[in-house]
Amino acid sequence: MAKAAREISRRVGGRSARVQEAVLRSVFELIAEGGIENFSVAEVASRAGVHETSIYRRWPARDLLIDDACRHYAQGAIPIPDTGSLRGDLIALMRDARDMLTSRLGQVILALTQLQTQPARASRHDYWRQRFQRLRLIFDRAVARGEFPREADPVAVLQTLIAPLYFRLLVSVERIEEWPVAEQVDRVLEGYAVPASKVRKHSKVRKHSRKKRKG
């Protein structure tokens, strides 16, 4: 039985999955160490222990390989928080984003912005579209609690919060470790404040709805 279990373990994912993981890990490490300008497929092949032809067969363009590696490691790097309030969720989200951008993964993601080919730009657009779509859950919960206007655009809020971090890193070349996340969130949310009368009305409706369900 133990032998059979080992055989199954070796078959899960297969050689193709192991090669892909080795290649993507090597790409990530090389970019983190020396940036995109010093990156080559030959180095990836050497570090991953595979032939260059195996890499080109799966990734015919260098930019596609870089993009795949970045997205592979960025996926799920910042979890969707659930603190019980919109303010708490956004503060937790932005602190995680700030910490990620100062990590090795952040260095690689920032390096990815240097790629300006059409496929690379399209891939970045697709990544952020999917990311913002998943983060809408934070605002759906906030709308249900009466904390955020139903008609407001969550993407505009997220872009407003995220943009200063990227500006400081890519344009003004400033540190972001001490960026005042809570203050920034408060300033942005002030413009989306739901009138107190609507909050009270929404709260009464929710309480009444809960009483009906209990009855």
Give mean pLDDT in consecutive 10-residue pieces for the chain, a chain of 215 residues.
39 70 89 79 92 90 82 78 96 94 83 76 84 94 95 96 93 92 95 64 49 53
State the pLDDT at residue 133: 93
Whether the Cβ atoms of residue 65 and residue 55 lie closer than 8 Å to each other: yes
Query: Which residues have C-beta within 8 Å of that of residue 81, sequence separation ≥ 6?
Result: 88, 89, 92, 93, 96, 138
pLDDT value of residue 94: 96
Q: What is the pLDDT of residue 205?
A: 47
CA nearest neighbour of 162 among 137, 186, 181: 181
Q: Find the helix packing angle between 62-74 and 104-112, rounded to 10°.
A: 140
- Residue 195 has what pLDDT? 61
Q: Give the per-residue pLDDT at 1.
A: 41
| Domains, the chain, with CATH or none | 2-73 (1.10.10.60), 79-214 (1.10.357.10)
Which residues have a Cβ under 8 Å from the Cβ of 102 and sit 6 or more positions away? Answer: 176, 177
Q: How far apart are alpha carbons 77 and 52 in whole angstroms?
A: 29
The token pair that represents 57 in the structure block:
């067969």
CB count in 10 Å sphere of residue 152: 15
As separate numbers, helices (DSSP H) first and strands (DSSP E) second, the chain gives 11, 0
pLDDT for 134 = 92
Answer for the pair 50, 23: CB distance below 8 angstroms, yes or no. yes
Nearest 5°: the CA angle 43, 45, 46 is 65
Instruction: Name the one residue in this structure whose structure tokens are 């969720």.
Output: 89
Backbone angles phi, psi at 192, to 5 degrees: -115, 20
